[in-house]
Structure 1
Amino acid sequence: MPTDQSYALIFDMDGVIIDNTDYQAEAFQLLFREHGLTTNARHLLERLNGMPATAILKTVFQHPVPEKELKRYADQREFLYRVIYWDKRQELAGLRKFLEAAKKAGFKIGLGTGSAPDTIGYIIDHLHLRPFFDVITGAADVEKGKPHADTFSVVSQKLGIPPERCVVFEDAVLGEQAAYKAGMRCICLSTSVDASKFQNPMKIIKDFTELVPQDVLDLLEQHPIVPKPDKQRAKRKYMKLQ
């Protein structure tokens, strides 16, 4: 059972467990082309990555689109993404070694993603990573996805570890904001956006070869205060925060 001395590591999936943003963008771009949209998908994801696909899609149409239709478009994008990414699935460099060391060091480990259960399985079961996670939370488990705090808050509750003892690994600006809203500190990965886009992570890494579990404990001591969320940082073109 967790104790008051336990710490938790909470991982986003896309851009953290795997480096797949370019493939996600390609799938969005193909969908946009089919519907005559000229939005640059890569730039769009730099701003909105981490939000549910339907919420991202809602921002690119100039006219209201029914939720049922948005869901159909999101399903099309998911199919395109899986076809494109099928033979490319691999974990980020150093991830498995880091997870093994974190488990051995006594960290609780959670996954907090905006993906649906079948998409989570498409990645973590293919890579045989599920045994590393004590808790997995996805789109089906929360009412509001990122940039709201729910995803990470639910992981924290299920792990039995208070937010101030949780560290989130994120690659997205909105994911970093969600961590701070949940009362957690954050380590960011520069897989999806330039490092300068982040607000105030404890550290920015390119992959998990740059970190060992003891580093996380050292960073927590060096950064005792959780940053307050910066709404202006998340309010970018195409953004519609609730």
Structure 2
Amino acid sequence: MPATSDYALIFDMDGVLIDNTRYQARAFQLLFRELGLDTNALTLLKRLNGMPATNILKTVFRYPVPEKQLKLYADRREFLYRVLYWDKRQELAGLTRFLEAARAAGFKLGLGTGSAPETIDYIIDHLHLRRFFDVVVGKDDVDHGKPHADTFAVVAKKLGVPPARCVVFEDAILGEQAAYRARMRCIGVGTALRAAQFQAPLTVIKDFTGLTPARVLKLLAEQPEVPQPSKKLAERQYMQL
């Protein structure tokens, strides 16, 4: 059996390291109000969370919007989000203790998110979490965001760990699909979704309280095969991008 040091744990950021989906949704909702749109932001994020903000925004317009304008809208949403979340930034319960235990056990640790570098800094540096991660991969490091495999595949390559020995922690449907497309197994984090809304995770956790490296290894042994990605779950619900 491979040593623990032969395995990697890869974490998404939003909804995994932190429970911030409702603040993200509120920022989108305020932007939509400014733009005269009536889209329900929380419903939208439950479907498309994990994608870059510009791609999410493409789905709410019934006409083409230039990329430059989408970027301005995304920047506006980011500003609103930071104002709303400024005093609320805190890690998900049990996270630091689990990360410390995982590193002590020999796991390699990576962060794979669709966020831009400044947004990553806003969270992980404020919470002093960067020290735990051997690799940090964000939006600017890949050609295609989730549900494509790129984000997690790049993390695994940088860590030097085969996909079959990587476990992804994800809170979003498209993030789980990205893990399976990358040929990795997944643990769901139920900050925004019910357990039944995930496809086939090793387990679904509410937070990191009580999770141990030994438990992760046991779950891997219980599900040796990587699930096939679901075309139905991975398809974008509003339009093809």
TM-score range, shorter chain: over 0.9
Aligned to 1:182: 182
Determine helix, strand or coil for the equivalent of 2:38: coil
1:198-231 CA-to-partner distances (Å, cap 9, x unmatched) read 1000000000004111101001100000001001
Q: Give the Cα–Cα distance (whole angstroms) in 1 for the partners of residues 130 and 5 of structure 2.
A: 25
Superposed CA RMSD in Å reads: 1.4
Q: How does 1:1-242 map to 2 (within 5 A)?
A: 6-235=6-235, 237-240=237-240
Give the residue type in structure 1 aligned to 2:104. K
Runs (5+) with no aligned partner, structure 1? none
Question: How many aligned positions are there?
Answer: 240
Q: Give the Cα–Cα distance (whole angstroms) in 1 for the partners of residues 238 and 125 of structure 2.
A: 33
Kept in 2: contact 1:170–1:176 (CA 8 A): yes
1:75-94 CA-to-partner distances (Å, cap 9, x unmatched) read 00000000000000000000
Which stretches of structure 1, 4 residues or more, deviate above 2 A after TM superposition? Answer: 2-5, 234-237
Q: Give the Cα–Cα distance (whole angstroms) in 1 for the partners of residues 134 and 187 of structure 2.
A: 20
Q: Give the Cα–Cα distance (whole angstroms) in 2 for the partners of residues 32 and 195 of structure 1.
A: 29
Give the residue type in structure 2 aligned to 1:70. L
1:21-51 CA-to-partner distances (Å, cap 9, x unmatched) read 0000000000000001000000000000000
Kept in 2: contact 1:4–1:161 (CA 8 A): no
TM-score (norm 1): 0.97
Q: Give the Cα–Cα distance (whole angstroms) in 1 for the partners of residues 20 and 95 of structure 2.
A: 15
Q: Give the Cα–Cα distance (whole angstroms) in 2 for the partners of residues 165 and 51 of structure 1.
A: 24
Runs (5+) with no aligned partner, structure 2? none
Q: Give the Cα–Cα distance (whole angstroms) in 1 for the partners of residues 134 and 168 of structure 2.
A: 15
Determine helix, strand or coil for the equivalent of 2:209: helix
Give the residue type in structure 1 aligned to 2:131. P
